[in-house]
């Protein structure tokens, strides 16, 4: 088990925020249809227990498991002026080759809800993430508030999935630039509210950026007659959007971004493809402190793209899968960590030991991106988290 040595995020052992919910909480929400007021004390109790579990396993970047959310992205978007949640949205508005939309359709599903721009986008001044953070603050010592991690949704989430011209009304925004500018302002306000409350550890969850590694998506993009922007141009624009979103954040607010290839029913992933084609832009142009990257299967490619990660940035390697209960071989996982560090060292002209100072380990994704979660139970999840902690303790003895 790790010591109590203080260290700012990221930590050597991390997880990605969403954790398996107890069945009693799922039943209360979905079977018994309890109201939000009825759910709150049940959520509070479940969150208190899962925080204690994280602490007992030696984790420092504590989350509430996203227990108050139905899906990982939470309720940020519907809370904005100018954005409206729609049930049973028309399929004609979606790019059906975007990996998550394609996976829905292939498995006989269709998007059950979506959020559309209907007017000028503006933050109302009320944060839907704040109460989640405030409750977590009651569960840990004040000296550890800066370690609490809040996961927030990607600013491009309700853009990439829509057919060009469907993300916003043309009488509201003339082009993506105007639309992105108001989104960035909304994120600046949100991050400001959370910072004032004491939050110092932010993780953006963004499967979309990993989709730009998918040859299947890129092929669909090229054959879509509606597109006037290339995929590479849009990736550049998304990186600029991110940089604008976090541009006003104080220097002591740790910014991380999680890229994965999706979680869906029966632990299904959405996309495949290594980071190679986006690595230079992702690592050198995006102004993040830390990258939480999926690396549990060959679908994410090799470690070679990490050669582009600058010396002042960190990577948390998701070498342990959250999708299935079978435990990875600890020694093999340690070897993989060293392999990644060697690639980083060679790319940046440093030693393995220097590179390792910028590395951590984690599961490749959350355990419950959607509330029902992956094909693993709570005890299986705990064993996975314990394995991650053991790997970290043996690679970086005495570090949190």
3-state helix, strand, coil in the chain (%, to 5): 45, 15, 40
Q: Tokens 């989640």, residue? A: 132
d(CA 350, CA 342): 9
Q: What are phi and psi of 98, to 5 degrees?
A: -65, 130
- Is residue 327 a part of any domain in this protein? yes
Number of domains in the chain: 1
**Would you say 8 and 360 are in contact if contact means Cβ atoms under 8 Å apart?**
no
Beta bridge partners of 361: 13, 317
- Is residue 30 a part of any domain in this protein? yes
- Is residue 73 a part of any domain in this protein? yes
Domain that holds residue 210: 23-395
For residue 49 the two structure tokens come to: 């227990």
What confidence category does residue 265 fall into, taking pLDDT thresholds of 50, 70 and 90?
Answer: low
Residue ranges of E strands in the chain: 81-87, 113-122, 150-153, 201-205, 254-259, 290-294, 314-320, 359-363
The pairing of beta strand 81-87 with beta strand 113-122: antiparallel
pLDDT of residue 189: 98
Task: Give how far the C-alpha of residue 312 lies from the chain's centroid of Cα atoms, to the nearest Å.
Answer: 21
Burial of 64 (C-beta count, 10 Å sphere; 0-12/13-18/19+): buried
Query: Per-residue pLDDT tens for 147-159?
Result: 999 999 999 999 9
Q: Which residues of 149-159 are buried (b: 16+ CB within 10 A; e: fewer)?
A: bbbbbbbbbbb
pLDDT of residue 336: 97
**Would you say 262 and 99 are in contact if contact means Cβ atoms under 8 Å apart?**
yes
Residues near 57 by Cβ (< 8 Å), separated by ≥ 6?
Answer: 382, 385, 386, 389
- Tell me the mean pLDDT in the region 171-188: 98
For residue 128 the two structure tokens come to: 């839907």
- Is residue 3 a part of any domain in this protein? no
d(CA 324, CA 102): 23
- Is residue 312 a part of any domain in this protein? yes
Question: Does the pLDDT at position 111 exceed 90?
Answer: no
* Residue-averaged pLDDT of the chain: 94
Assign residue 287 the CATH number of its domain. 3.20.20.210
- Is residue 5 a part of any domain in this protein? no
d(CA 333, CA 297): 12
pLDDT of residue 291: 98
The pairing of beta strand 150-153 with beta strand 113-122: unpaired
pLDDT of residue 104: 81
What secondary structure does DSSP assign to 219-281, as a single string?
HHHHH-TT--S-HHHHHHHHHHHHHHHTTTS-TTSEEEEEE----BGGGB------SGGGHHH
- Tell me the mean pLDDT in the region 64-85: 95
For residue 364 the two structure tokens come to: 């490749």
Question: Does the pLDDT at position 74 exceed 60?
Answer: yes
Give me the sheet containing 359-363, strands edge to edge. Answer: 150-153, 201-205, 254-259, 290-294, 314-320, 359-363
- Is residue 37 a part of any domain in this protein? yes
**Which of 303, 309, 292 lies closest to 255 in space, CA to CA?**
292
pLDDT of residue 299: 76
Share of the chain above pLDDT 90, in %: 86
What secondary structure does DSSP assign to 91-138, as a single string?
GGGB-TTSHHHHHHHHTT---SEEEEEEEEEE--S--SSHHHHHHHHT
- Tell me the mean pLDDT in the region 300-310: 94
Query: Per-residue pLDDT tens for 27-63?
Result: 999 999 999 999 999 999 999 999 999 999 999 999 9
Query: Per-residue pLDDT tens for 312-331?
Result: 999 999 999 999 999 999 99
Share of the chain above pLDDT 70, in %: 96
Beta bridge partners of 291: 257, 315
What confidence category does residue 300 fall into, taking pLDDT thresholds of 50, 70 and 90?
Answer: confident
- Is residue 11 a part of any domain in this protein? no
What confidence category does residue 246 fall into, taking pLDDT thresholds of 50, 70 and 90?
Answer: very high
pLDDT of residue 262: 64
Which carries the bigger pLDDT value, residue 5 or residue 113? Answer: 113
State the DSSP H helix or E strand holding residue 47, giving kind and residue range, or none if neither. helix 36-56
What confidence category does residue 264 fall into, taking pLDDT thresholds of 50, 70 and 90?
Answer: low
Residue 58 is classified by DSSP as T
């Amino acid at each position: 088990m790790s010591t109590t040595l203080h260290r700012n995020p990221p930590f050597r052992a991390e997880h990605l925020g969403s954790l398996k919910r107890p069945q009693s909480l799922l039943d209360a929400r979905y079977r018994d249809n309890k109201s939000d007021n009825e759910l709150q004390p049940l959520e509070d109790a479940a969150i208190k227990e899962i925080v204690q579990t994280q602490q007992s396993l030696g984790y420092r970047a504590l989350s509430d498991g996203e227990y108050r959310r139905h899906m990982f992205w939470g309720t940020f978007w519907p809370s904005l002026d100018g954005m409206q949640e729609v049930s049973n949205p028309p399929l004609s508005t979606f790019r059906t080759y975007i990996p998550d939309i394609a996976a829905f359709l292939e498995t006989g599903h269709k998007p059950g809800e979506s959020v559309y721009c209907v007017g000028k986008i503006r933050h109302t001044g009320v944060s839907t993430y704040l109460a989640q953070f405030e409750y977590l603050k009651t569960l840990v010592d004040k000296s550890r508030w800066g370690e609490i991690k809040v996961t927030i949704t990607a600013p491009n989430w309700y853009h990439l999935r829509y057919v060009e011209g469907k993300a916003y009304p043309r009488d509201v925004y003339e082009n993506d630039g105007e639309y992105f500018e108001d989104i960035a302002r909304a994120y600046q306000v949100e991050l400001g509210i959370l910072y004032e409350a004491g939050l110092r550890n932010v993780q953006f969850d963004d499967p979309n950026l990993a989709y730009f590694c998918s040859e299947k998506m890129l092929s669909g993009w090229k054959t879509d007659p509606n597109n006037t922007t290339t995929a590479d141009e849009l990736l550049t624009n998304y990186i600029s959007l991110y940089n604008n979103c976090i541009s006003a954040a104080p220097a002591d607010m740790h910014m991380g971004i999680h890229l994965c290839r999706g979680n869906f029913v029966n632990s299904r992933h959405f996309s495949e493809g290594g980071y190679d084609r986006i690595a230079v832009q992702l690592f050198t142009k995006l102004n993040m402190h830390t990258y939480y990257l999926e690396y549990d299967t060959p679908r994410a490619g090799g470690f070679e793209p990490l050669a582009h990660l600058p010396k002042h940035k960190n990577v948390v390697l998701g070498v342990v899968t959250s999708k299935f209960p079978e435990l990875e071989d600890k020694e093999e996982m340690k070897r993989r960590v060293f392999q990644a560090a060697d690639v980083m060292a060679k790319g940046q002209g440093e030693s393995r030991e220097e590179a390792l100072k910028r590395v951590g380990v984690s599961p490749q994704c959350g355990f419950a991106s959607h509330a029902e979660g992956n094909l693993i139970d709570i005890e299986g999840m705990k064993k996975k988290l314990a394995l991650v902690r053991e790997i970290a303790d043996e690679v970086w003895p005495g570090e949190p």
